[in-house]
Amino acid sequence: MSLWDKLENIDSRIIYLLIWIVVLTPLISPIGLPVSISENTIAYARTIDQLPPGSMVVLSFDFGLGSLGELYPIAVATMHHLFSRPVKFAIIAIWNQGPLVAKMIIDELNPEKTYGKKYGEDWIFLGWAPGGEVAMRALGQDFWKVFPTDYLYKRSVSEYPIMQKLKSANDVALLISIETGTPGVDEWARQWGPYNVPMLIACIGVSAPGVTPYLQSGQVKGLLPGLRAGAEYELLIGRKGLAVASADALSTTHMIFLIFVVIGNISYFAKRRGIK
Amino acid sequence: MAWYKRIEIPIAITIICALIQIIPYFIVMGPAVEEFMDNAVNWEMLVAAGALFVGAISLVLVHAPRIVKRQTHWQYSLELLVLMALTIIVGLPIREIGLGMDNAIFTFIVDNILTPLDSSLYAMLAFFITSAAYRAFKARSLEAALLLVAGSILVFRNAPLGTFLIPGAADLGDWLFRIPNMAVQRAVIIGGALGAIVLGVRTLSGYERGYLRGGGV
């Protein structure tokens, strides 16, 4: 077996081991590489910062536990940002595991103690709306019909002051969807487009290309694609968390990925040209 | 054939439900029709929620016979059904008797079983993608070479180390993302929308029967 054959057929286990090493090493011993902040991240944070006091925001958890690695830091940072601002917001989920993730973050942030935000006045947790795109449409028409009770205490939403200001999409100043795929931005744009509600999208890296048309059209005001954007956002709002901690591991895994692609191509061309 | 088994019935239900949604969108038909339309949307949500129960029943129908017949890996089926039943019971939203999301067993299942398993499955992609890219991501043709170059630029753009080593990668990556990618995505969205219209017309006219027992008769 020639050198090129060996290079073209590296055992998968060696690749897995190297990935394992390059993920773990920077997590144990961070390098602290600088993270430049992109326009999209600035726009995402600026949109929240520029909301007038008392504005109503809907934060939708449109992802499940599988995407926690990429989206959990963004969701934590977004909720921290919202709690830090004088706005009101309702947490909903179009994905059935969304409430589980939202509950984890609420427990982690402890809004009443940390930010002095009162449940039912400043924020509310409404839970999961089944039906995907149909649920989005129904929410646009009437929040009270979709969520007759809240998720945390199972009390009628009519008992909460915040819900007096949230009847339909016409009352919403901003929709934030943290999402993995379908249902996601396409469905929100279709169903909430007629209400002209501006959107912020945070998504896993592979979903990001599909959001660009909505960015260009102005329907989406800001986009956080994946963990790197999460790190940028954490730095921007001054709350370093899991995404910043993972940024070095992100770098090393991407680089090892590129190195293997280069090795694969060099060996491929060397063999094709008959180089011994 | 009994009348209720006739293929025309589900087709008629589909057409009526579709028209209820489509016609009032274009024509103002009065509050009574609009209220009916709103209610129909709520029914759809109920049906979607009900589909979860169908899924649970389906799992029981698939896995229970495996356990009874002691088929290969029947232990996994048993594990699945036991955990499913346990999660459903302890997760029922009855706070008065200590069930629901704050229940200790439910929290344990979510924190120590569901979350690590789901996250691990997703995280394993890093290993598989690297291995697969190393074997398949090769410049075998001009198109493949273009894909390779564009992909590599975006990998550089996405890694803090990449933009640290080559600052220009950020601008180039953003340009690829904003211009060529967006043009293609628009085409995908428009193509998908046109396809959906065609599918809708075929369904309304009864030609599309894929949703009826795999084609219907």
Facing A34 at nearest CB: one of B38, B41, B164:
B164
Mutant choice from A5, A7, A15, A22 vs B, greatest count of B C-beta within 10 A: A15
Same domain (yes/no): B68, B105 = no
Same domain (yes/no): B54, B98 = no
Same domain (yes/no): A86, A102 = yes
Asked if the C-beta of A217 comes within 8 angstroms of chain B's C-beta atoms, the answer is no
Same domain (yes/no): B37, B80 = yes
Same domain (yes/no): B15, B31 = yes
To 5 degrees, how large is the angle CA A99–CA A103–CA A108?
150
Same domain (yes/no): A261, A236 = no
The per-residue pLDDT for B72 is 92
Non-local (6+) Cβ contacts of B20 within 8 A are B36, B37, B40
Mutant choice from A94, A251, A269, A272 vs B, greatest count of B C-beta within 10 A: A251
Percent pLDDT > 90 in chain A is: 87
Non-local (6+) Cβ contacts of B28 within 8 A are none
Residue B187 lies in a domain: no
Integer Cα distance of B107 and B111 in angstroms = 6
Q: At residue A208, does pLDDT exceed 70?
A: yes
Chain pair A-B, CB pairs under 8 angstroms: 163
- Positions of chain B with pLDDT under 70: 213-217
Same domain (yes/no): B68, B108 = no
Same domain (yes/no): A151, A236 = yes
Beta-sheet strands, E only, within A11-152:
56-62, 88-93, 123-128
Per the structure, the count of domains in chain A is: 2
Q: How far is CA B191 from the centre of its chain?
A: 20
Residue B180 lies in a domain: no
Interface pTM (ipTM) of the complex? 0.83
The per-residue pLDDT for B14 is 86
Residue A33 lies in a domain: no
Q: Which amino acid type is present at position A206?
A: V
**Closest residue, chain B, to A180 (C-alpha):** B122
Q: At residue A125, does pLDDT exceed 60?
A: yes
Same domain (yes/no): A162, A224 = yes
Residue A32 lies in a domain: no
Sheet holding A123-128, edge to edge: A123-128, A88-93, A56-62, A174-179, A199-203, A220-225
Integer Cα distance of A264 and A8 in angstroms = 6
Integer Cα distance of A29 and B204 in angstroms = 61
Instruction: Report the run of H or E that residue A202 belongs to, with start and end.
Output: strand A199-203
Residue A192 lies in a domain: yes
**Closest residue, chain B, to A258 (C-alpha):** B152
Residue B37 lies in a domain: yes
Question: Which residues of A are less than 8 Å from B119 in CB distance?
Answer: 65-66, 68-69
Integer Cα distance of B99 and B97 in angstroms = 6
The per-residue pLDDT for B213 is 65
**Closest residue, chain B, to A35 (C-alpha):** B160
Place of tokens 């993972």: A246
The per-residue pLDDT for B40 is 84
Integer Cα distance of B141 and B147 in angstroms = 10
Q: How far is CA B62 from the centre of its chain?
A: 21
The per-residue pLDDT for B217 is 46
pLDDT in tens, A40-74: 999 999 999 999 999 999 999 999 998 999 999 99
The per-residue pLDDT for B214 is 58
Nearest Cα to Cα of residue B170 among B194, B154, B187:
B154
Dihedral of CA A210/A215/A219/A222: which sign? positive
Domain of residue B81 covers 1-86
Question: Is residue B109 a contact partner of residue B83, using CB atoms and an 8 Å limit?
Answer: yes
Question: Is residue B18 a contact partner of residue B204, using CB atoms and an 8 Å limit?
Answer: yes
Long-range contacts of A170-174 (CB under 8 A, 24+ apart): A170/A195, A171/A56, A172/A56, A172/A57, A172/A58, A172/A197, A173/A51, A173/A52, A173/A55, A173/A56, A173/A57, A173/A87, A173/A197, A173/A198, A174/A47, A174/A48, A174/A51, A174/A55, A174/A56, A174/A57, A174/A58, A174/A198, A174/A199, A174/A200
Question: Which residues of B are less than 8 Å from A34 in CB distance?
Answer: 160, 164
Mutant choice from B87, B119, B134 vs A, greatest count of A C-beta within 10 A: B134
> Which A positions 46-75 lie with beta carbon below 8 A of chain B?
64-70
Same domain (yes/no): A140, A10 = no
**Closest residue, chain A, to B181 (C-alpha):** A209
Residue B141 lies in a domain: no
Residue B204 lies in a domain: no
pLDDT in tens, A141-187: 999 999 999 999 989 999 999 999 999 999 999 999 999 989 999 99
Q: Which amino acid type is present at position B199?
A: L
Domain of residue A214 covers 39-241
Q: At residue A257, does pLDDT exceed 80?
A: yes
Long-range contacts of B188-193 (CB under 8 A, 24+ apart): B188/A210, B189/A186, B189/A213
Same domain (yes/no): B15, B59 = yes
Same domain (yes/no): B47, B121 = no
Integer Cα distance of B87 and B106 in angstroms = 6
Same domain (yes/no): B77, B124 = no
The per-residue pLDDT for B10 is 86
Mutant choice from B88, B102, B125, B127 vs A, greatest count of A C-beta within 10 A: B127
Same domain (yes/no): A191, A254 = no
pLDDT in tens, A209-222: 999 999 999 999 99
Same domain (yes/no): A73, A167 = yes
Per the structure, the count of domains in chain B is: 2
Asked if the C-beta of A194 comes within 8 angstroms of chain B's C-beta atoms, the answer is no
Ordered DSSP codes for B11-71: HHHHHHHHHHHHHHHHS---HHHHHHHHHHHHHHHHHHHHHHHHHHHHHHHHHHHHHHTT-
Question: Is residue A232 a contact partner of residue A38, using CB atoms and an 8 Å limit?
Answer: yes
Non-local (6+) Cβ contacts of B175 within 8 A are none
Question: Is residue A207 a contact partner of residue A180, using CB atoms and an 8 Å limit?
Answer: yes
Same domain (yes/no): B32, B82 = yes
Same domain (yes/no): B53, B116 = no
Q: Which one has a higher pLDDT value, A78 or A2?
A: A78
Residue A138: give its domain's CATH number: 3.40.50.10160
Same domain (yes/no): B102, B63 = no
Kindly determine whether residue B188 and residue A264, on different chains, have CB atoms separated by under 8 Å. Answer: no
Same domain (yes/no): A80, A101 = yes
Question: Is residue A80 a contact partner of residue A109, using CB atoms and an 8 Å limit?
Answer: yes
Residue A151 lies in a domain: yes
Residue A80 lies in a domain: yes
Facing B137 at nearest CB: one of A64, A70, A261:
A261
Same domain (yes/no): A178, A261 = no
Residue B105 lies in a domain: yes
